Structure 1
Amino acid sequence: MAFEELLEDPVIQKYLHELVGPKGMPVAAAPPDGEVTDEELAEELGLELNDVRRALFILYENDLATYRRLRDEDSGWLTYLWTFEYDAIPEQLESEMHRLLTALENRREYERNHEFYLCEECGIRFEFGEAMDFGFQCPDCGSELQSLENTRLVDAMETRIDELRDELNVETANAEI
């Protein structure tokens, strides 16, 4: 995928937005060709220098930007020249999707293997053991805790897990019934 196409992809735009936030998005969304200083970016984009530096650091932490330092011989000041490295974004997104799949599978198993009770007044959910410890009464308001059916939640997780597996071309680890 060409660099320009990467930046036009709404999924990649969302990914960058999640990383750097709204203040850093102008930095992430319009990376210049070649090296640039944080001061140049701030001036060009009309942003606060601290917002630009924060965005650059986040991009650096996520292997999406690199820098090299130059020391001014006269003043001793360091200048950082930044380069954007967006080629790895598709692989990073795939890695994130794998982490999400694992987390959803673990959560689904947790939901399947536990019995829950709900305080309908407070909206607080308790595992069976907690509910039993409280005598099936809400510790906040004293209302009776009601058995909570979480089949819809588990079904929704299974649907999302199947979608992720299809998208990632991942087979089911264990045959599930």
Structure 2
Amino acid sequence: MAFDGLLEDPVIQKYLHDLVGPRGMPVAAAPPDGEVTDEELSETLDLELNDVRRALFILYENDLAEYRRVRDEDSGWLTYLWTFHYENIPDNLEEEMFRLADALEQRLEYESEHQFYLCEGCSLRFEFEEAMEFGFECPECGTQLESMENTGMVEATEQRLAEIREELNIESEVEA
């Protein structure tokens, strides 16, 4: 399977980069057709073998690569033959978006249900109960804590959550 068109997508490039990091990106960005050994990839890409193996195992953990072991009958050494499965990327990205939607829902609930106080000097934020325990003074610098308006954060979270829900074609719990 050729992955050329898929790998030109900047979203997929960022996803792969976030998974394997800059040192593993040459491995992720150049998946060969068919099976390949980690040693072959290391040599072809002029990378350290450990960096290649790390990237391969991250791809494996994310269902984007698989391997089969072959034992050399003479030496007993195991050789790992790797195959890439980037056709799984769209499903992985969708799962990530569902996780992000869940996290945003939790954050929205937290931000909506709490009142916050801010130390403008230290930029520390406290829930009302914490602020009350500290006598509305910053425990770091002693500055008076100010009531913090988080409406902007709540609105931005709601907007981002609505965009993700629309993209995933799911209704919000409020609308359902």
Counterpart of 1:73 in structure 2 is 73
Map 1:161-176 → 2, pairs under 5 A: 161-175=161-175
Counterpart of 1:107 in structure 2 is 107
Counterpart of 2:146 in structure 1 is 146
Distance 2:172 2:124 in 1: 33
Query: Structure 2 counterpart of 1:82, which letter?
Result: W
Query: Structure 2 counterpart of 1:80, which letter?
Result: Y
Distance 1:82 1:53 in 2: 10
Counterpart of 2:132 in structure 1 is 132
Structure 2's unaligned 5+ residue stretches are: none
Report the alpha carbon displacement of residue 4 of structure 1 after superposing the two structures with TM. Answer: 2.1
Map 1:1-177 → 2, pairs under 5 A: 3-175=3-175
Distance 2:36 2:3 in 1: 17
Q: RMSD across aligned C-alpha pairs, in angstroms?
A: 1.1
Distance 1:90 1:175 in 2: 27
Distance 1:80 1:3 in 2: 22
Identity %: 72
SS of structure 2 residue aligned to 1:88: helix
Q: Deviations over 1:107-143 (max 9, x none)?
A: 0010000000001110100000000000000011100
Name segments (4+ residues, structure 1) moved above 3 Å: none
Report the alpha carbon displacement of residue 150 of structure 1 after superposing the two structures with TM. Answer: 0.2
Report the alpha carbon displacement of residue 75 of structure 1 after superposing the two structures with TM. Answer: 1.2
Distance 1:175 1:89 in 2: 30
Distance 1:82 1:142 in 2: 59
Report the alpha carbon displacement of residue 171 of structure 1 after superposing the two structures with TM. Answer: 1.2
Distance 1:82 1:116 in 2: 51
TM-score of the superposed pair, with normalisation by structure 1: 0.96
Structure 1's unaligned 5+ residue stretches are: none
Distance 2:164 2:15 in 1: 17
SS of structure 2 residue aligned to 1:143: coil
Report the alpha carbon displacement of residue 166 of structure 1 after superposing the two structures with TM. Answer: 1.2
